[in-house]
Structure 1
Amino acid sequence: MAQTTDAPSPATEQRPSRLGQWNSAVTSYYLLVGAAGLMLVLGLVMVLSSSAVDSLASDDSPYAVFRNQAQYALIGLPLAWVASRMPSRVYQALAWPLLGVGLVAQLLVYTPLGCGKGGNQGWVCVGGFTAQPAEALKLALVVWLGAVLARKQPLFDDWKHAAIPALPVAGGAVGMVLLGHDLGTAIIMLLLVAGALFVAGVPMRIFAAAGMAAAAGVAVLAIGSTNRTSRIMDWFTGDCDVQGGCYQTVHGLQALATGGWAGLGLGQSREKWSYLPEAHNDFIFAIIGEELGLIGTLLVLVLVAVLAFAMFRVIARHRDPFAQIVTGGVAAWIVGQALVNMGVVVGLLPVIGVPLPLVSAGGSALITTLVALGMVVSFARTEPGAAEALATRPSVVRRSLAVIGRTRA
């Protein structure tokens, strides 16, 4: 009696393995779009939950802050889509004009149009419109660094080409932000510059010298401010007035501790009832922990990790040095800022006032972050084999219409 073996079906032969799916040319693209989209949706939900009480206390609609954030998202998403379709050569051509516009916009902060908050002079206020030019300057700086460093890469053996003009211009941009006493944003910009320099392959002696100079500058600025010095000392000693310098940190930790494993439930936060300042902004991660528990905070960490993995994958796979350097700067900016924000909330870092990307309330930060990620998505679309793979896949609209047609049939 002849023995028969089960031959694999054609469907089984064509089905890619899980390893093959992770090695797909479009993996970076889908990870970036998926993780950013989920963080944006989570952010909108949590902004509504964390801001409603304070809005009511200000005799405003409970949806006031959420409505503004949703409007900024509706502005940022089309801009991100456009950015995801622009080729690399367009960004390189726009590098110098973008930097010029960013520097001029930052200068407006120090004119009569500028306005301050919490001791920082970092906003432009015209009528009912408020913007933070430093966020746009981040985007302009990372594109400019990519264009300059990519062109200078073959000349890095000479330290002058490795350092000039990148370090003086970047230092000047950071210095303009520091003039407004916004140390938190300046630190994120330094992370951005470090990420771009590292991916570009700048010699370590230049990298180390620039790092020591930046650290010394931050230390001098911190020591020169009584407010910053007290925050740092409170963080080091852990012994400070709960009603003073440790107020936000203590209430942030109380929110996280109260949430437990699964949280109190969406909308059930107690700290947002005017106990925790900036609950919808710098300390929104604490409200996530209180309402969604450890599960919610781990979700945020996983999404940030997915963004980091996708951007590192673009750096490793892309053949264009400009795309690699810009992606490195954007990764250091967004991932670094997220880690700094969460580190502040859990008490690992002193309070320096930076928002959680894509999640915290803030129009300027949301729009520029979406555009920066859209730019990285454009690089992911041009990874080796990605354009061909995306061209063979039907659009979302066509897939949806096909499903509807089969359902009716």
Structure 2
Amino acid sequence: MRPAGTLTTSAGTARGAGPARPPAGSDEALERAWLPGPLGRWVRAVDTPVTSFVLVASATGMLLVLGLLMVLSSSSVESIAASGNPWSIAVRQGAFALVGLPLLLVAARTPALWWRRMSWLVLLLALVLQGLVFVPGLGVEVNGNRNWISVAGFTAQPSEAIKLALVVWGAAVLSRKQELLGRLGHVVVPVVFPVGLLALGLVLAGRDLGTGLVVLLLLAGLLYAAGAPLRYFLLGGGVAAVGVAALVVQEQHRLVRIQAWLSGQQCTDIYGECWQPTHGMWALGSGGWWGLGLGASREKWAWLPEAHNDFIFAIIGEELGLPGTLSVLLLFVALAAGMVRVAQRSSDPFVVIATTGVLVWVLGQALINIGVVIGVLPVVGVPLPLVSSGGSSLVTTMVALGMVMSFARDEPGAREALSTTVRAARSGAAVVAPARASRRPRR
């Protein structure tokens, strides 16, 4: 296999005719699409050993910065009402980002072998933490959901750790059982039962249907990446649909939300269940093409519930307009493209399955959140990854994406290219510093 960036020409190619098209089925044809002219040169220029790492790292960083900015803007009014300090919610979110950043850097330097070795420990710890929400004095109920624990004033949502634990553990187990997944028992016993149902059961026992749906998507993504037969997805999808329907019917507030969503524009209860989705749509609509300006939202003035959390995408549309919402979508597309590239270029089944699990988790949760805000899905309490307020979600998502970055660093040539870039940056800084010092005026 030739290194990326090289193309051979046939013996009969005329001078100046450009690169010859690689034959169908060749290594070059598998590694890159053949494109003529400037577009082909651009594709070959960006197709480097560090492309996957740059896509994941840059999209993560920009979404994180945008999220911190929008949490500050969307939460200022609620912060004033709660504590008199417009910065309180934003400062707490910034503190969680500062906690998550070193964890991301550590995760980005942890080899896949260590992730595989830690899989059982991570899973057991996450399950224990999720079980603590049912302990009197530790578990906290918020908006009808009992999925938080509070210790010494510190509140955390263990169900977010469940997602990361299932990714690591599921990838470790399925990567060893790929050849046996044609047998139903090797899918049901290690993945779906008892661990999948145990983790999902603990989440649903706390009445958090939104997180439960994300866990279901995550499990499906892991099985798909491992190569499970299609018939299992049809069977599992049917069972999941029946289970979700039963959970909706037995909770009145969920049933009312579904009915409000199905009624669409005919929903007249704008002071009840239609209040939040209606004001979310009003926020997007009032933003127009270019937005009202950063900080100029009207809906955040106690009109739109969860403006800094589940409905922060509506505030982005109101304040930053179409460019703001499209920027969020493009950043998630770039993040997904980087993770797809990592999975495609890896020969390690663990890396492929784990990366796909993180992709389905983050992108699926983002699509659910945005779908709720724009009205194509019923209201479900799911935050927008890296953007919405919420420390547990932010930290676990950063760690998961740091793990994907560690996989991207293991692509052929990536470590060498990154080391060269770091050395060049340090050399440039060393040259610039004396030059600046020499330009200082003498006293």
Superposed pair shares fold, TM > 0.5:
yes
Structure 1 residue 212: Cα displacement = 1.8
Residue type of the alignment partner of 1:400: A
Give per-residue Cα distances to partners, 1:289-311, cap 9 Å, x unaligned.
00000110000000011011111
167-176 or 249-258, which moves further after superposition? 167-176
Equivalent residue, structure 2, for 1:357: 385
Equivalent residue, structure 2, for 1:6: none
Give per-residue Cα distances to partners, 1:205-237, cap 9 Å, x unaligned.
122222222222111111111110110011011
CA contact (8 A) 1:259 1:289 kept: yes
SS of aligned partner of 2:150: strand
Residue type of the alignment partner of 1:242: I
1:57-76 aligned at under 5 Å gives the runs 57-76=81-100
Identity over the aligned pairs, expressed in percent?
A: 53
1:140-219 aligned at under 5 Å gives the runs 140-168=165-193, 169-219=195-245
Structure 1 residue 102: Cα displacement = 0.5
Residue type of the alignment partner of 1:66: A
- Does residue 114 of the first structure (1) align with residue 132 of the second (2)? no
Equivalent residue, structure 2, for 1:232: 258
- Does residue 374 of the first structure (1) align with residue 402 of the second (2)? yes
Partners of 2:111 and 2:125 in 1: how far apart? 21
Partners of 1:114 and 1:386 in 2: how far apart? 44
Partners of 2:432 and 2:330 in 1: how far apart? 31
CA contact (8 A) 1:21 1:27 kept: no
Structure 1 residue 407: Cα displacement = 5.8
Partners of 1:276 and 1:178 in 2: how far apart? 26
237-246 or 315-324, which moves further after superposition? 237-246
Equivalent residue, structure 2, for 1:400: 429
Equivalent residue, structure 1, for 2:42: 18
SS of aligned partner of 1:123: strand
Equivalent residue, structure 2, for 1:265: 293
SS of aligned partner of 1:264: coil
Partners of 2:68 and 2:203 in 1: how far apart? 28
2:326 to 294, 298, 312: 298
Structure 1 residue 257: Cα displacement = 0.6
SS of aligned partner of 1:392: helix
Equivalent residue, structure 1, for 2:359: 331
Alignment RMSD (CA, Å): 1.7
Structure 1 residue 164: Cα displacement = 2.3
Change (3 A) 1:366 1:295: same
Equivalent residue, structure 2, for 1:280: 308
Partners of 1:165 and 1:129 in 2: how far apart? 34
86-95 or 238-247, which moves further after superposition? 238-247
- Does residue 78 of the first structure (1) align with residue 102 of the second (2)? yes
When normalised by structure 2's length, the TM-score is: 0.87
Partners of 1:143 and 1:165 in 2: how far apart? 14
Equivalent residue, structure 2, for 1:100: 124
Give per-residue Cα distances to partners, 1:252-287, cap 9 Å, x unaligned.
111101111111100000000000010000000000
Question: Matched residue pairs, number?
Answer: 396
Give per-residue Cα distances to partners, 1:8-41, cap 9 Å, x unaligned.
xxxxxxxx94222332111010011100000000
Give per-residue Cα distances to partners, 1:328-366, cap 9 Å, x unaligned.
110000001011101000101000111000000000000
Partners of 2:434 and 2:257 in 1: how far apart? 62
1:244-263 aligned at under 5 Å gives the runs 244-263=272-291
Equivalent residue, structure 1, for 2:71: 47
The higher radius of gyration belongs to 2
Partners of 2:160 and 2:427 in 1: how far apart? 37
Partners of 1:336 and 1:19 in 2: how far apart? 28
Structure 1 residue 403: Cα displacement = 4.2
Partners of 2:355 and 2:299 in 1: how far apart? 37
